[in-house]
A and B are shown apart, each in its own frame.
Chain A
Amino acid sequence: MTSILGIETSCDETGVAVVADGRRVLANEVASQIDIHKEFGGVVPEIASRQHTRVISQLTRKALGIAGIEIPDAVAVTRGPGLMGSLLVGLCFAKAIAYAWNKPLIGVHHIEGHIFAAMLCDSPPEFPFLALVVSGGHTQLVDCPAPHQYAILGATRDDAVGECFDKVARLLGLPYPGGPSIQKAAEGGDPQAFRFPRAMLDAPHLDFSYSGLKTAVLYTLRDDPGAKDRLPDLAASFQEAAVDALLAKTRQAMRETGARRLVLAGGVAANRRLRERLLADIDGDVFLPPFAYCLDNGAMIAAAADSRLRHGLTDPLTITPDAALPL
């Protein structure tokens, strides 16, 4: 058995996990700041480094204890992209323990981590595949021809889809985080009640745009005084528009690349409507990440690192974080 310690500190969450053989999660600890600060439209109380610094040691000790592993075979850590201060905490910590244990260090791209969350199951996807990465900070279609080879086929030109959920939730007076609250509000609503735009559907490229959808909801609330009383319809119609655009570009990308497998990744992968629609409308095998590994976590970083280790892709202790690391 190969056990890998995975550390993720690129943004709000401090994640530490132990994964065996790239797919079996022995421990997955996440210190999130969402729960304690839901009240104010998505505030992160102590972003950045201080919170990560405070919890990372104890979280690591806890994860190793739960996993029953004294010293793992390698130490994996998110190298970027993300907040410089936050990345530094995780990377410095990872370097220190890799050095102390004399184990290989593996730097992982945050998005590669999200894609590898789909490997944390009994029947993981084989390469090649197409990945749809959807989260608060990212909306990307990534061609994955072979392990650790990536080509970004399309990305958002403005807001990420997860961010759009959060901002629309705020416009609708729904609590943070917006994804789950819109999903809940949409239950029983008519997804065709309001006609919101699906941006760039007819464009030849594979990019997304979610800024106009947010604006359209805002205009509807401004111009249609009765709209606010039809919350389920509004939420369902918004959700449908957001999901439609993802579906359309994903189908287009699968046609163009000839991909037969689709891997969904990122926090918005937890959205039930998106999952249903992908399973129903995508021509090919659809791999959905387990709910537990959709949001930022250390297990996905360890999963990606396991494959990197098997491909001989380890890093020297001199690597530095990169806030704008390209995939």
Chain B
Amino acid sequence: MNAERTLELISPSSTATERLGEALARLLPEGSTVALYGDLATGKTCLVRGMAAHFTGKREVHSPTFTLINEYRGNPTLFHIDLYRLAGPEEAVELGCEEIFDSLNVCAVEWAERAERLLPDRCIRIVMRHAGNDRRAVCIVNPGLLPEGWEEALRRAVAVLE
């Protein structure tokens, strides 16, 4: 299971994207970093809201675009980082991203491409795109971090009937 594997899903709605985040959070090992890529309004924050629901029991997630880092305290604490306003990796270093990536907490990074070289070698990458109407294409690249059966679990999360 150490080989890198890629899964392409279509999420039909923001609710499904949230469920996907929740399902992903259930599978994540301690200290994982999830790097999120995708244009405005592709559902990145939505996915993180689902993750937070799993770790904290609450869906109180707001976009960290201005605040840069949000902490949702739970077990473990989820760090929600948004690099949208940053020009590059140096600023992400200033922000303290490396310490968060190295910690045992889970971390989700929006606009991860702004600090690509700081990301841990083995992070989960998720690319989100508009796919017509309200649908979003979600591509998940797992470098062998998620346990066996992850594809089925994630597929099921977006497939549940509304």
Closest to B59 in A: A157
Q: Which residues of B contact A137 (CB under 8 A)?
A: 66-67
| Interface residues in B54-73 (C-beta closer than 8 Å to A) | 59-63, 65-71, 73
Contact across chains for A159 and B69 when beta carbons are under 8 A apart: no
Contact across chains for A44 and B85 when beta carbons are under 8 A apart: yes
Closest to A222 in B: B130
For the complex, give the distance between the alpha carbons of A112 and B67 in Å: 17
Of A42, A159, A324, which one neighbours B45 at CB under 8 angstroms?
A159
For the complex, give the distance between the alpha carbons of A121 and B130 in Å: 48
> Given A83-B69, A323-B69, is A163 in contact with B63 using a C-beta cutoff of 8 Å?
yes
Contact across chains for A167 and B40 when beta carbons are under 8 A apart: yes
> Given A159-B45, A171-B40, is A324 in contact with B71 using a C-beta cutoff of 8 Å?
yes
| Interface residues in A298-327 (C-beta closer than 8 Å to B) | 323-324
Does A135 reach chain B (CB closer than 8 Å)? yes
The segment out of B27-35, B86-94, B153-161 that lies at the interface is B86-94
Contact across chains for A47 and B68 when beta carbons are under 8 A apart: yes
Encode contact with A along B87-123: 1 for CB under 8 Å, 0 otherwise: 1000100111000000000000000000000000000
Contact across chains for A162 and B66 when beta carbons are under 8 A apart: yes
For the complex, give the distance between the alpha carbons of A156 and B140 in Å: 28
Contact across chains for A49 and B66 when beta carbons are under 8 A apart: no
Contact across chains for A45 and B87 when beta carbons are under 8 A apart: yes
Q: Which residues of A contact B131 (CB under 8 A)?
A: none
Contact across chains for A42 and B62 when beta carbons are under 8 A apart: no
Does A85 reach chain B (CB closer than 8 Å)? yes
Does B84 reach chain A (CB closer than 8 Å)? yes
Does B41 reach chain A (CB closer than 8 Å)? yes
Does A158 reach chain B (CB closer than 8 Å)? yes
Contact across chains for A43 and B86 when beta carbons are under 8 A apart: yes
Q: Which residues of A contact B68 (CB under 8 A)?
A: 11, 47, 83
Q: Which residues of B contact A85 (CB under 8 A)?
A: 94-96
B130 CB, nearest partner CB in chain A, Å: 8
Contact across chains for A47 and B41 when beta carbons are under 8 A apart: no
Contact across chains for B85 and A43 when beta carbons are under 8 A apart: yes
Contact across chains for B40 and A11 when beta carbons are under 8 A apart: no
> Given A83-B95, A155-B62, is A47 in contact with B67 using a C-beta cutoff of 8 Å?
no
Q: Which residues of A contact B73 (CB under 8 A)?
A: 324
| Interface residues in A203-223 (C-beta closer than 8 Å to B) | 211, 214-215, 218, 222
> Given A42-B85, A44-B86, is A50 in contact with B94 using a C-beta cutoff of 8 Å?
yes
Q: Which residues of A contact B40 (CB under 8 A)?
A: 167, 170-171, 214, 218
Does A185 reach chain B (CB closer than 8 Å)? no
Give B contacts to A, CB under 8 Å: 40-41, 45-46, 49, 59-63, 65-71, 73, 84-87, 91, 94-96, 130
Q: Could you list 5 examples of A-B contacts with CB < 8 Å?
A: A11-B67, A43-B85, A81-B67, A155-B62, A218-B40
Give A contacts to B, CB under 8 Å: 11, 37, 40-50, 81-85, 135-137, 155-160, 162-163, 166-167, 170-171, 211, 214-215, 218, 222, 323-324
A-B contacts besides A50-B94, A222-B130, 4 pairs, CB < 8 Å = A40-B87, A83-B69, A159-B63, A163-B63
The 6 closest A-B pairs by CB, nearest first: A136-B66, A137-B66, A215-B41, A137-B67, A159-B63, A48-B94
